[in-house]
């Protein structure tokens, strides 16, 4: 790896080897997702508590002040809406020059292993890694899971390993039973998605379990911005990720 790429990655995964990434990219296929209807309003109070921000270029340009000092993880795949029957038909939606202009710290792209367009999304990843490596921009592979697929150790292990083999610099996936096996067989760092909104304590437990089993952090969206108190929730997540607090201790911060 080169210095620029390492430097960008180090801005995301902090000195303690952990990270709290705030995911607000949902609109790229879901439109005005609950809690993100006015993205800027949701994002602004959370910025001081996030290690990085994952979003699309549209929301970045319109809803984040250019003097904001936070590493940006730019979503660069898409091409579908929630109305499409087949969500796996994604292409790369942002060129590398645009990513450089936007001064991003990483680019994120979904892969759909086992999906109808598996091949296309894996080639998208490989091409993005080539482009990213030319300019020192790391790539986050997001292992998207089709509705009919089980989020189990075998499947997620397969997705994460393929992502790493194709050159992803870090991977976002879902938590599962025996998560340590997924981590063990993936040679690059893993962060977990929060998934659908669940009670705060359960989301903290999810983050706690993932960290205990080897994740470097979370890339969490709905369980933060759909919480009754998003700022308290992200602080509680930070306590688990960066301060090794127990679920009980972190949950106190939400009350
Ligand atoms: C979809 C995504 C999301 O848009 C988002 O980042 C997921 O975050 P969360 O599940 O925590 O709301 O990556 O594949």
How would residue 147 be classed by pLDDT, with cut points 50, 70 and 90?
confident
Which backbone phi and psi does 91 adopt, to 5 degrees?
-125, 170
Q: Are strands 91-92 and 77-78 parallel, antiparallel or unpaired?
A: antiparallel
Q: Which atom of ligand 1 is nearest to the CA of 26?
A: 4
Instruction: Provide mean pLDDT across the span 183-187.
Output: 98
Contact 167, 129 (CB under 8 A): yes
Residue with the nearest Cα to atom 4 of ligand 1?
26
Closest CA to 154 of 189, 171, 172, 178: 178
Q: How distant is the alpha carbon of residue 245 from its chain centre? A: 22
Torsion region of 14: left, alpha or beta (phi above 0 gives left; psi -120 to 50 gives alpha): beta
How would residue 255 be classed by pLDDT, with cut points 50, 70 and 90?
confident
Write out the CATH class of domain 3-254: alpha beta
To test the ligand 1 pocket, which listed residue (26, 73, 198) has its Cβ within 8 A of the most ligand atoms?
A: 26
What is the DSSP code string of 158-221?
HHHHHHHHTT-SEEEE---TTHHHHHHT-SS-EEEE--S---HHHHHHHHHHHHHTT--EEEE-
Residue with the nearest Cα to atom 3 of ligand 1?
26
Instruction: Provide mean pLDDT across the span 26-50.
Output: 97
End-to-end CA distance of the chain: 43
Model pTM score: 0.97
Known catalytic residues are: 172
Helix (H) or strand (E) holding 18: none
User: What mean pLDDT value characterizes the chain?
Assistant: 97
> What is the Cα–Cα distance from 158 to 153, expressed in whole angstroms?
8
Whether the per-residue pLDDT at 1 is higher than 70: the answer is no
All structural domains of the chain with their residue ranges: 3-254
Instruction: Provide mean pLDDT across the span 157-165.
Output: 98
Instruction: Name the E strands within the chain.
Output: 19-23, 52-55, 72-75, 77-78, 91-92, 106-111, 139-143, 170-173, 190-193, 217-220
Q: Which atom of ligand 1 is nearest to the CA of 28?
A: 4
Q: How many CB atoms lie within 10 A of CB 150?
A: 10
Tell me, what's the pLDDT at 59? 98
Name all residues whose Cβ lies below 6 A of ligand 1: 23, 25-26, 54, 110, 142, 144, 193-195, 219-223
Which backbone phi and psi does 118 adopt, to 5 degrees?
-45, -55
Which backbone phi and psi does 144 adopt, to 5 degrees?
-75, 140
Contact 202, 247 (CB under 8 A): no
Cα 219 to ligand 1 centre (Å): 8
Contact 76, 104 (CB under 8 A): no
Cα 114 to ligand 1 centre (Å): 19
Cα 158 to ligand 1 centre (Å): 19
Q: Which pLDDT tens digit goes with each residue over 48-105?
A: 999 999 999 999 999 999 999 999 999 999 999 999 989 999 999 999 999 999 999 9
Cα 177 to ligand 1 centre (Å): 20
Tell me, what's the pLDDT at 49? 98
> What is the Cα–Cα distance from 161 to 188, expressed in whole angstroms?
9
């Amino acid at each position: 790896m080169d210095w620029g790429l390492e430097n960008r990655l180090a801005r995301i995964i902090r000195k303690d080897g952990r990270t709290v990434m705030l995911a607000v990219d949902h609109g790229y296929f879901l439109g005005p997702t609950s809690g993100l209807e006015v993205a800027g309003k949701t994002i602004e109070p959370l910025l001081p508590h996030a290690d990085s921000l994952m979003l699309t270029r549209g929301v970045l340009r319109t809803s984040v002040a250019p003097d904001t000092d936070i590493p940006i993880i730019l979503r660069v795949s898409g091409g579908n809406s929630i109305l499409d029957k087949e969500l796996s038909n994604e292409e790369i939606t942002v060129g590398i020059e645009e990513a450089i202009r936007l001064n991003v710290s990483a680019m994120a792209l979904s892969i759909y292993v086992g999906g109808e367009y598996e091949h296309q999304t894996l080639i998208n990843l490989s091409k993005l890694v080539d482009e990213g490596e030319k300019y020192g921009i790391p790539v986050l592979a997001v292992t998207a899971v089709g509705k009919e697929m089980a989020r189990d150790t075998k499947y997620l292990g397969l997705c994460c390993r393929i992502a790493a083999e194709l050159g992803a610099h870090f991977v976002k996936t879902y938590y599962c039973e025996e998560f340590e096996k997924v981590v063990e067989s993936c040679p690059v760092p893993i962060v977990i998605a929060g998934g659908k909104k669940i009670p705060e304590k359960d989301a903290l437990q999810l983050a706690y379990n993932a960290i205990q089993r080897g994740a470097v952090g979370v890339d969490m969206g709905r369980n933060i911005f759909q919480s009754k108190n998003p700022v308290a929730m992200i602080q509680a997540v930070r306590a688990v990720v960066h301060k090794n607090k127990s679920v009980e201790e972190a949950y106190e911060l939400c009350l």
